[in-house]
């Protein structure tokens, strides 16, 4: 009798730790997420790690870096044990900074180790283990660039081209001018791997103009390089536009429903000329943000045949109504008039980036000529192409009209460099292209 009780007692005594062991035994590894998904380590490299363990909880974290047999701890942490699972640590977000130079490492290959263990009794009480051992490249030096275009004469409102060489792999480069950034594109010239960046000096740029060539490598190191340039100031024309009752009622008929308020014809005009204009320009900027990675164009751009310039690039227009100035806007293209419904040709080879209604510009076509260069055709009566279509220089893409905010039949022609409106006259000019593009491309082999 006594023996039976003893057996029962012993088995209960044994059962408790067995249940406890089984309860503490699980096979789910801690989860780990590195941000960024690191491959390069820059001079001061930020690294965030999200670590979690749903079941038995975190026990130990180790983050280290090693090179040529030398290992350095970046972060090491142990977490307290508690009998109750819910009182243990299940989630940690580490925000680390690695400074490889301060740790005594050199630029080159290294190994990043992240090790996390939990409180499971798995692996003979050592816990589930998540281990990341990753080859990384320590790169603390900014990329070196050589500018291959020593002469750069630019016009206010004009375009420019800089060609440069990078002496290491670069992630992003281009020209920075205040808030503007013009991206550079990789290409091959005279057997050399080079970068080309087309950029613009906006018509309203404030002098002195400050711009730099900048490049970032994959480790995030940035180089800022000066290059020689000279910008010629330009004085743009001032123009006066008298708003007739007749024109305002046309504008009301066309845009009245869009302005969404029963305003007077003048107020509708002011909304179209101001708010709608900026909306349309934001859309153009967006369209110009995706471009072909190779140049598609060849030679000077075509100016519409047998046409007369009715308004110029960057003309400052003051709008008068009943003798009083009511608005002021800048005209960002050239108006060309010929006979009504004249054929409009593609100014150069390209891909149709947009072919639709574009507010104040009416029926509009935008062509992508590659490397950030675009041409635009507004107020068309008819569009003959569709988005994505390839067009050849001289091909008829539409017909002139007076759609949008146009008083009469004409073509509004604009050119954009990475979304910035530039003076099209340069791109029509064989000599300008020769001096500013062709000669520069040809000279690359000499450096």
Q: Smaller CB distance to Zn ion: residue 217 or 335?
A: 335
Terminal alpha carbon distance of the chain: 104
Q: How is residue 229 written in tokens? A: 């340039």
CB of 268 to Zn ion, least distance (A): 19
Q: Determine if 409 is a binding residue for Zn ion (CB under 5 A).
A: no
Q: Smaller CB distance to Zn ion: residue 335 or 409?
A: 335
CB of 307 to Zn ion, least distance (A): 13
Backbone angles phi, psi at 157, to 5 degrees: 85, 0
| Calpha distance 388→406 (Å, rounded) | 27
Question: Closest residue to Zn ion, Cβ-based?
Answer: 412
CB of 283 to Zn ion, least distance (A): 16
| Calpha distance 391→397 (Å, rounded) | 8
Q: Smaller CB distance to Zn ion: residue 205 or 332?
A: 332
Residues 6-39: b if buried by 16+ CB within 10 A, e if exposed: eeeeeeeeeeeeeeeeeebebeebbebebeeebe
From 100-108, 185-193, 319-327, 328-336, span contacting Zn ion (CB under 5 A): 328-336
Residues 6+ apart with CB under 8 A from 262: none
Residue 4, H or E segment: helix 2-24
Q: Contact letters (x/-) for Zn ion, 11-50, by CB under 5 A?
A: ----------------------------------------
From 214-222, 265-273, 278-286, 330-338, span contacting Zn ion (CB under 5 A): 330-338
Q: How many residues bind Zn ion (CB under 5 A)?
A: 2
Q: Smaller CB distance to Zn ion: residue 117 or 410?
A: 410
Q: Smaller CB distance to Zn ion: residue 46 or 408?
A: 408
| Calpha distance 172→212 (Å, rounded) | 14
Is the CB of residue 401 less than 8 Å from the CB of residue 381?
yes
Q: Which of residues 331-350 bind Zn ion (CB under 5 A)?
A: 335
Q: Which of residues 166-225 bind Zn ion (CB under 5 A)?
A: none
**CA-wise closest residue to 68 among 113, 9, 109, 125:** 109
| Calpha distance 22→276 (Å, rounded) | 69
Q: How is residue 186 written in tokens? A: 């990789």
Q: Determine if 55 is a binding residue for Zn ion (CB under 5 A).
A: no
Q: Smaller CB distance to Zn ion: residue 348 or 364?
A: 364
Following DSSP, what letter does each residue of 202-231 receive, concatenated? -TTPPSSP--EEEEE-TT--EEEE----EE
CB of 311 to Zn ion, least distance (A): 6
CB of 357 to Zn ion, least distance (A): 16
Q: Determine if 412 is a binding residue for Zn ion (CB under 5 A).
A: yes
From 56-64, 327-335, 368-376, 386-394, span contacting Zn ion (CB under 5 A): 327-335
Q: Smaller CB distance to Zn ion: residue 144 or 317?
A: 317
Q: State the virtual CA torsion across 419, 429, 399, 383 in degrees, nearest 10.
A: -30
CB of 412 to Zn ion, least distance (A): 3
Following DSSP, what letter does each residue of 275-312 receive, concatenated? IIHHHHHHHHHHHTTS--SS----SSPPPPTT-EEEE-
CB of 405 to Zn ion, least distance (A): 9
Q: Summarize as ranges the residues that interact with Zn ion (CB under 5 A).
A: 335, 412
């Amino acid at each position: 009798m006594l023996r039976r009780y003893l057996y029962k007692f012993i088995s209960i005594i044994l059962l408790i730790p067995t249940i406890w062991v089984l309860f503490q035994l699980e096979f789910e590894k801690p989860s780990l997420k590195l941000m960024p998904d690191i491959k390069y380590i820059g001079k001061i490299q930020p690294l965030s790690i999200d670590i979690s363990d749903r079941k038995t909880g975190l026990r130990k974290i180790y983050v280290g870096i090693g090179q040529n047999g030398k290992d350095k701890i970046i972060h090491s942490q142990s977490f307290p044990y508690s009998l109750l699972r819910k009182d243990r640590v299940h989630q940690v977000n580490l925000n680390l900074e690695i400074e490889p130079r301060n740790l005594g490492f050199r630029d080159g290959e290294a190994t990043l180790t992240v090790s996390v263990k939990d409180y499971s009794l798995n692996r003979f009480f050592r816990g589930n283990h998540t281990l990341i051992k990753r080859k990384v490249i320590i790169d603390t030096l900014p990329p070196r660039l050589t500018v291959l275009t020593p002469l750069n004469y630019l016009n206010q409102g004009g375009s420019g081209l800089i060609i440069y060489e990078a002496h290491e792999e670069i992630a992003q480069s281009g020209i920075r001018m205040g808030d503007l950034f013009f991206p550079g594109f990789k290409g091959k010239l005279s057997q050399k791997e080079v970068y080309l960046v087309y950029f613009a000096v906006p018509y309203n740029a404030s002098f002195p103009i400050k711009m730099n060539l900048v490049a970032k490598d994959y480790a995030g190191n940035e180089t800022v390089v000066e290059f020689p340039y000279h910008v010629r100031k330009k004085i743009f024309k001032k123009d006066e536009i008298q708003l007739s009752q007749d024109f305002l009622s046309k504008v009301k008929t066309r845009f009245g429903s869009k302005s969404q308020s029963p305003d007077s014809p003048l107020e509708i005009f002011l909304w179209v000329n101001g708010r709608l204009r900026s909306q349309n320009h934001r859309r153009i900027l967006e369209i110009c943000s995706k471009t072909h990675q190779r140049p598609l164009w060849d030679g000077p751009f075509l100016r519409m045949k047998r046409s007369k310039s009715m308004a110029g690039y960057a003309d400052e227009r003051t709008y008068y109504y009943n003798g009083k100035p009511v608005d002021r806007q800048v005209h960002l293209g050239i108006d060309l008039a010929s006979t009504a419904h004249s054929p409009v040709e593609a100014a150069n080879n390209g891909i149709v980036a947009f072919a639709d209604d574009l507010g104040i510009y009416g029926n509009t076509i935008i062509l992508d000529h590659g490397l950030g260069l675009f041409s635009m055709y507004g107020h068309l009566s008819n569009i003959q192409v569709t988005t994505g279509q390839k067009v050849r220089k001289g091909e008829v893409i539409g017909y002139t009209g007076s759609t949008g905010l146009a008083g009469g039949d004409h073509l509004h022609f604009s050119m954009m460099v990475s979304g910035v409106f530039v003076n099209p006259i340069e791109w029509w000019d064989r000599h300008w292209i020769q001096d500013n593009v062709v000669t520069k491309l040809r000279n690359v082999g000499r450096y």
